Structure 1
Amino acid sequence: MIGSGSFGTVYKGILFDETEVAIKVFNLQIEGAFKSFDVECEVMSKIIHRNLVKVITCCSTTDFKALVLELMPNGNLEKCLYSNNHFLDILQRINIMIDVASALEYLHSGYSTPLIHCDLKPSNVLLDKDMIAHVGDFGIAKLLGEGDSMKQTMTLATIGYMAPVQEDDKYFVVKANCISSIMKLALDCSAEFPEDRTDMENVLSMLKNIRRKYLNDLAEN
């Protein structure tokens, strides 16, 4: 077993060709598990993007339902952020933000029908062997129909935490300015009124600009 979620458990498996995979087995005793499986099958079998978890196949019988997914060797982002055994520097964090923003920008405007994830949080962001982030777990995702508002769609919220930077760091000011830009962007994305929130296309562009400035400032110091 390599993980668990709201509707089931994830196991590591090996296919006949020795490909390592993640197998998400749904606990059908949990209310909503059947619907979650159906949504994930419908959504994840149609969308293809380098920053989305790839579904290899699915298995569905009356009393057993599972998804076979691409295995992510570095686990989920939550483990990397909150475990004493892992460390992500600022550049890695920015790269992960850009990966996630790329996935969301595709879901919101690059796919034929706008799709809202509705449960984006660190445990649903998975990292491959190269630390490239992939968004997964579309169990409560919502496909928007004509007339639906993307910015007014209800989502779940997860409280996060960022440790303070250390003032004795040689690049303290550069890092502090970078983090300040990221936090400002985060606040713009969570404005009270939907019309005031930054859309994902602009978020992606701004994150890339933040990364570019951060690297330039590091080189100049």
Structure 2
Amino acid sequence: MVLLLLLLVVICLLLIYCKIRRRKRRRPHCSTSPISSTKRNFTFDQVKEFTDGFSNFLGEGGFGHVYRGVLPTGRDVAVKRLKVGSGQGEREFLTEVEIISRVHHKHVVSLVGYCTTGSERILVYELVTNNTLEFHLHGEGQNLDWPTRLKIALGFAEGIAYLHEDRALKIIHRDIKAANILLDSEYEPKIADFGLAKCISESKNHVSTEVKGTFGYLAPEYVLTGKLTEKSDIYSFGVVLLELITGRKPWGSVENSMGLIDWARPQLTRALEDGEFNLLVDPKLQNHYDNNEMARMVACAAACVRQSAGRRPKMSKIVLALKGDLPLSDLNDGIRPGLSILYRFFQSSDDGTSQDHGNSSSSEGRRRQTT
């Protein structure tokens, strides 16, 4: 009798073990080690040769330096060399190689290869020649006219929609910002820097994680709870839209501590109600923009930066709205922007998310900011 019971227990344990194994095989995941990329693994000597001894410096980030290189085939590349000995840099390196090797989209920067010789951690990308969106909006870059800003917004939205919705495995970027949008010679945007990205399977709606990202772009509910969803990216995207519209940086200045979101929210509602955008729009545009196109982008920005994550639209809806293929009322549960008490109520209500979340996110974000 005892032997029979033991046999039954063993059989049950084997069945449970087999079931768990099958689930693991079916479940998509983003591993961080070892590297299982199909991209080329360069030796350090090869990288040193095609960068001419790392002599052509392009820029510097939080975890390393970027250099220009030319492959033996004649292809121009950007080479990101991580600082040696950074534990966080190592994790970001593994994450970036794993994730970016999986994605293929015209608005996502492509990985050419990598190097893991000794302690060296190097990423080799396609070269995107026209610097970052941040450089052009807030730095010394060329002023962007309205058609260019709209093109950047649409391409950027299409790239995020691909990451969120066009794949079996949902990829959340987690560090959407103007500095991570590269522009090519035609000002087409490419999303870069996937070191903080997370993968979420279809069966999950969020992942709990340490709060990371950049102050000014972090969604309030992510800062407060650590629960990461695609709506966190959508909030950050909304901040970038506001930068394109207003020309302002997402954080306050020494003279004015009010951040972009706090300043913009009442302005957005007012502009959509009366159809006048001049007080909201970047003075550098000199009022040279299409009013209907501006209304679409302003409505998208307002929808993306809502306090309630549940009321932020999916990115595929934003793409359609920016193109003019979706009524703006579809971003607001059927309520059309205009002189409407219902619309104003909709914009200010938050599905149980306290208005204080937006204010507390600033101080909380400063404490948890990592880049």
Residues 94-122 of structure 1: CA deviation (Å, up to 9, x unaligned) = 11111111111000011220000000111
Q: After the TM superposition, which residues 67-86 of structure 1 pair with which residues of structure 2 at under 5 Å, given as runs? A: 67-86=123-142
Corresponding residue pairs, total: 208
Same amino acid, percent of matched pairs? 27
Confirm whether residue 57 of structure 1 aligns to residue 172 of structure 2: no
CA distance in 2, matches of 1:95, 1:165: 16
Q: Which residue of 2 aligns with 1:66?
A: 122
Write the deviation string for residues 57-88 of structure 1: whole angstroms up to 9, x where unpaired: 11112310111100011011111111344111
Counterpart of 2:324 in 1: which secondary structure?
helix
1:199 aligns with 2:314: yes
Alpha-carbon distance in structure 2 between the residues aligned to 1:168 and 1:202: 27
Matches within 5 A, 1:1-221: 1-150=57-206, 156-159=213-216, 161=243, 162-163=246-247, 164-165=281-282, 171=288, 174-175=290-291, 178-209=293-324
- 1:209: how far off? 1.0
Gaps spanning 5+ residues in structure 2: where? 1-56, 217-238, 248-280, 326-371
* Higher-RCO chain (CA-CA 8 Å, sequence separation at least 6): 1
Structure 1 vs Structure 2 CA RMSD: 2.5
CA deviation after TM superposition for structure 1 residue 155, in Å: 6.2
Distance in 2 of aligned mates of 1:53 and 1:34: 20
Which has the larger helix fraction?
2
Q: Work out the CA distance in 2 between the residues paired with 1:151 and 1:32.
A: 19
Instruction: Give the direction of change, closer, same or farther, for the CA distance of 1:132–1:152 in structure 2 (3 Å limit).
Output: farther
* Structure 1 position 150, deviation (Å): 4.9
1:175-209 CA distance string (max 9 Å, x none): 4x543432221121122222111110101111111
Equivalent-residue separation in structure 1 for 2:173 and 2:305 (angstroms): 16
Q: Are the structure 2 counterparts of residues 18 and 71 from structure 1 closer, same or farther at C-alpha, using a change threshold of 3 Å?
A: same
C-alpha distance in structure 1 between counterparts of 2:169 and 2:111, whole Å: 19
Give the direction of change, closer, same or farther, for the CA distance of 1:196–1:44 in structure 2 (3 Å limit).
same
Distance 1:189 1:206, change over 3 A: same
Contact (CA 8 Å) 2:146, 2:288: kept in 1 or not? Answer: no
Q: Separation in 2 of the partners of 1:17 and 1:109?
A: 35
Rounded to whole Å, the distance in 2 between the matches of 1:90 and 1:169 is 10
CA distance in 1 between counterparts of 2:314 and 2:66 reads 32
Query: How far apart in 2 are the matches of 1:117 and 1:46?
Result: 13
